[in-house]
Amino acid sequence: MDSKRGIELKVRREMESIGVYRKEFDMIINIYAGMLHQYLWFEKEFHESEYQITEPYTNKAGATNERKVPLLTAMESLRKDIASYSDRLCLSPKSLEKVVIDSDSKSVLTSILKELD
């Protein structure tokens, strides 16, 4: 599994390759890499549990019911956050459409967007 630092470097390289990296994004990249690292770890644990979705739970009244495993709940929450951060970092197709770049720029992203027009 990739380390958090390894994920940060990959994200930064990806952003540089499409011409959207700025130093100001480093804190957001750090948080995003942390979430991706957690998600990969949770995914491994979920696989090792043989993709257990529910578990028995006994409430305060003594009644036992099935509930979603907390790991799956955490993964679902992380997915939403990861999607939100990937948009902010221009790493999703949705966010790439919204990026406005100076027409004189020679970034890879500019050439991709020009080809789409």
* Strand residue runs (E) in 1-117: 54-58, 64-68
pLDDT 10s digits, 33-78? 999 999 999 999 999 999 999 999 999 999 999 999 999 999 999 9
Q: Is 49 helix (H, G, I), strand (E, B) or coil?
A: coil
Q: What local confidence, expressed as pLDDT, does residue 3 receive? A: 93
> Model's pTM, two decimal places?
0.76
Question: Between helices 26-48 and 4-17, what is the axis angle to 10°?
Answer: 120
